Amino acid sequence: MRTTTALYPTAISGFTRGPNLAAIADTFASNTSRQRTHFRERAFWMFSTGHRLGDMRRMVRQYAFSPDSVYPGGIFFKGGAYGNALMMPVPSEELNNPTFTGCLDRNP
């Protein structure tokens, strides 16, 4: 994706395509660094599309990263602190669904 400017967004008023970005060379020391780079790049490309939480859960569940290294922690920049929840709450609209049985598995 980095090397093809045709994939860059164009719907923004006044946006002009710049030069292609350089591809990332596959010189990773381990699979872990390759996976981290993949998800970091994906975070930039998929910004504001609603895919980040799924990726973060996948990093913890399937790639065995520690939740502390994936989810933000500490002080929130708008005030307060980040919580320890790793799941999104079920919307009230879904609770009215008679076929929804709930999810008791709180693991990421």
pLDDT recorded at residue 65: 92
- The mean pLDDT value for 53-78 works out to 90
What CA–CA distance (Å, rounded) separates 92 from 104? 17
Highest mean pLDDT among 5-9, 15-19, 49-53, 61-65: 61-65
**Distance separating alpha carbons of residues 51 and 78, to the nearest angstrom:** 23
For the record, the structure tokens of 80 come out as 């307060």
Average pLDDT, the chain: 80
Residue 80: predicted pLDDT: 92
Confidence of residue 41 (pLDDT cuts 50, 70, 90): confident
Q: How far apart are the first and last CA of the chain?
A: 29
Question: What are the pLDDT digits (tens) for 3-40?
Answer: 766 666 555 556 666 666 787 888 888 888 889 988 98
Q: Locate 86 and state its tokens.
A: 């790793």
∠ Cα 3 5 9 (to 5°): 130
> d(Cα 25, Cα 33) in Å, to the nearest integer?
12
84 has a pLDDT exceeding 80: yes
